[in-house]
Homo-oligomer: A and B are copies of this chain.
Amino acid sequence: MDKKHIKFMKEAIRQAKISLRQGGIPIGSILVKDGKIIGRGYNKRVQKKSAILHAEMDCLENAGRLKAKDYRKCAIYSTLSPCDMCTGAILLYKIPTIVIGENETFKGPENYSKKRGAQIINLNMKECKEMMRDFIKEKPGLWNEDIGK
C-alpha cells in the first residue's frame, strides 16, 4: 500500500478522534491537493445538530470555495466509505480520487462513483473498522440516524 495514503489517512483518523472526544460520530476526512492537506473535517451531527455535516461535507466546507480546476487535482480521504450525500458532493466537484479507510461498516455507492469516473482506493484499515465498531456498539441509534436508517 502506498505509504502516502496511510500517512494522510492517519490525519483523517485524527479528525475522527476529535469528533469522538466531543461526543460525536468518529468519522474524519481530509482533502489533499498536490500532496498538501487543504481541508480537514469530521462528522458534526452531534456537535452542530447538523443533518448535512458528515466528515466529507465538513472537510469540503472547511477547504472553502475552490476553483473547478483545483478540485480536479484533489484526493479526498475518508475513514469510512462515503454515503450517497458525500459521494454526490465529490461527483459535483469531480474530485478524481477517493481514498477510504474501510467499507465493511458501511458501503456507499462505490460502483456509481466509479461509473462516474472516480477512482476508489480502499486502505481496509483495522483501526478505522474498530473505531466504528466500538462507536456503533455504544450508540446504535445515533449511527442509524446518520445514515438515514
In angstroms, Cα B92 to Cα A111, docked, is 16
How many A residues touch the partner, as a band? 20 to 34
Proximity bits, A39-64, B CB within 8 Å = 1, else 0: 00000010001111100010011011
Contact of A121 with B by CB under 8 A: no
Proximity bits, A69-109, B CB within 8 Å = 1, else 0: 00100000000000111111101111000000000000000
In angstroms, Cα B88 to Cα A39, docked, is 21
Proximity bits, A113-146, B CB within 8 Å = 1, else 0: 0000000000000000000000000000000110
Contacts of A147 in B (CB 8 A): 92
Indicate how many identical chains form the complex: 2
Contact of A66 with B by CB under 8 A: yes
B87 near A145 (CB under 8 angstroms)?
no
Contact of A4 with B by CB under 8 A: no
Contact of A21 with B by CB under 8 A: no
Nearest CB in chain B to that of A83: its residue: B92
A60 near B52 (CB under 8 angstroms)?
yes
Given A52-B52, A65-B50: A148 and B71 within 8 A (CB)? yes
